[in-house]
Structure 1
Amino acid sequence: MQYVIVGIGGQGILFSSRVLGHIALSKGESVMGSEVHGMAQRGGSVISHFKIGKYSSPLVKAKEADVLLAFDQNEAIRNLHFLKPGGKAIINVHAPEALENPNLKRFLEERSIELYPIKGYEILKEHMNGKFLFLNVLILGAMCGAGIGNVTLEEVKRAIEELAPPKYVEANLKVVDLGYGAMAK
């Protein structure tokens, strides 16, 4: 399984990679990853390449990712080329009309890429008083709710309980459920 996780600095991309890695290692699977921070400290792009299984390189090549987790819709659009034909993307959207672009729709159709948009900022404003630092676990919950990524909600919750600072565990668990509920079919 090959993941590309994208967003901007401060959105918790690296914690999401840690959660996925923790789950894979607990199952005895091999894990390999690489992060590109760029100008992350100034709100710039962050990309995490993450692989579970027998691979010889941590970087995901274009057209080979199974899953794209996008904490920012602009970063999602910039990184869709990583998805393989039939790949799937969970995208935090703030302007859904951007996904209606005819060229983008054609690109997705030609490659049979499925998008799973979630209005993460709206959900966090409504349920978490606008605490956007929980966006990362919202996206992980949405991934589980969509049934992609080969991890279960229970595995994500267990990893969060083990990895998150104790004072944030309860809130993280609430938000992962919100993401799951927003996407569950």
Structure 2
Amino acid sequence: MKKLILITVLLFGSISMAQEPNLTNDYKLVEKKVIEWRREIHQNPELSNREFKTAEKIAAHLNSLGIAVQTGVAHTGVVGILKGNQPGKVVALRADIDALPVTERNNLEFKSTVSSEFLGEQVGVMHACGHDTHTAILMGVAEVLSKNKDKIKGTVKFIFQPAEEGAPPGEEGGALLMV
């Protein structure tokens, strides 16, 4: 949650707010959602270029906030565009959405039990690098900013990138395709 607050504060400073917003209540309202999203995404990881359900979840959330959504970017990526009510610069915030071919070995109630084929073998799949957290935090930032659209000078792009860990052999993916 501290990352969510930091990112939002930095974003507000970067895009020049018309007035100083009081975001305390917005943060409190979204904090539980961010934790729930993180746990759900953690429990349901998807490998690079296979992030179909994750992308659907992200797109549905952004759509529910009235944010313009582009899907299928770089295969399974999602881009949300929030235009503030005043003209200004464009700021982009990015989160990675893919998981790794790693079996989770812990006793968390929301641990991954997902397995998938990777390089011709069945392997466990988990969010071992925090992409589940990155995604949930950016979804929370999108919610907070969408509620404060009237105070934003400029445009915010929310970029949810697939295949950050690298595309499967023989496929393209990742940041270059997002650009």
Task: Note whether the superposition's TM-score is higher than 0.5.
Answer: no
Structure that is richer in helix per residue = 1
TM-score (norm 2): 0.29
Structure with the greater relative contact order (CA < 8 A, sep ≥ 6): 1 or 2? 2
Name the larger-Rg structure: 2
